[in-house]
Amino acid sequence: MRSDHDVFSGYVRAGWYPNQKPRSFRCGWCGRSVTSETGLQNYSDKLVGPLEPPGDEPEFKIEVRICNACNVGTTFFEDFQLPKPLRGETINSDGKDKALDLIVKLYGEARKALSQDCPSCAVLMFRKLLMHIAVQQGAKPRLRFVDYVDHLKSESVIGKPLFPLLDRIKDAGNEENHEIKRATTEEAEDLLNAVTHLIKSIYPQTTRSA
């Protein structure tokens, strides 16, 4: 069996040291604001996978911080945090309506996509959510997307004052679907607020423990 000394010298050979200073952050797992003194740090000049190195420096600091509220690790590449705290409000379904449960779960997926720095995924999910909401509200499945939006408007599922919100979600999802561009985090967060408002106004029962 490897001794503690062997284990720690393996860490040191790989460049890992205990964190030198406390770090304050909002945990992406439990959502609490914490100051962590526990974790490891290293330096690297490359990232594996789809992430891009933060900034132009040839070498950057990686930290793994253990949250002292939930004990789960969060990774920092310099100041870039993964996972980030969930954005937007928590919405709960009542468990009695499967279609509504699905809408709430998909909404949760969009929030998680944003916490993983994937704004385009979130924007596409917002478009998909409009389709699910329309079907839950009586539209036939397999319609064209524009027909789902019309259903939400013409069947008075959504009041006229909210039409501009609906159109914004529709148009942003459309751009994401057809144009070669990536949504920004700001765009996605703005739409998240619009979608949250829409869901809460159609399903007021979902806001009881938000």
Which parts of this chain interact with Zn ion (CB under 5 A)? 27, 29-30, 67, 69-70
Burial class (CB within 10 angstroms; exposed 0-12, middle 13-18, buried 19+) of 112: middle
Q: Rank residues 72 and 210 by Cβ distance to Zn ion and give the closer one.
A: 72
CB of 63 to Zn ion, least distance (A): 15
Rounded least distance, CB 27 to Zn ion, Å = 3
**Cα–Cα distance between 46 and 109 in angstroms, integer?**
29
The angle that helices 185-202 and 98-115 make with each other, rounded to 10 degrees, is 160
Amino acid residing at 86 = L
Q: Quick one: 54 or 73, whose CB is closer to Zn ion?
A: 73
Cis, peptide link before residue 119, omega less than 30° from 0:
no
Minimum distance from residue 71 beta carbon to Zn ion (Å) = 7
CA distances, 75 to each of 62, 72, 78 (Å): 7, 10, 9
How near is the Cβ of 155 to Zn ion at its closest, in Å? 43
Residue closer to Zn ion, measured from CB, 67 or 158: 67
Minimum distance from CB of 23 to Zn ion (Å)? 13
Return phi, psi of residue 53, to 5°. Answer: -60, 140
Choice between 36 and 93, CB closer to Zn ion: 36
Query: CB-wise, 36 or 41, nearer to Zn ion?
Result: 36
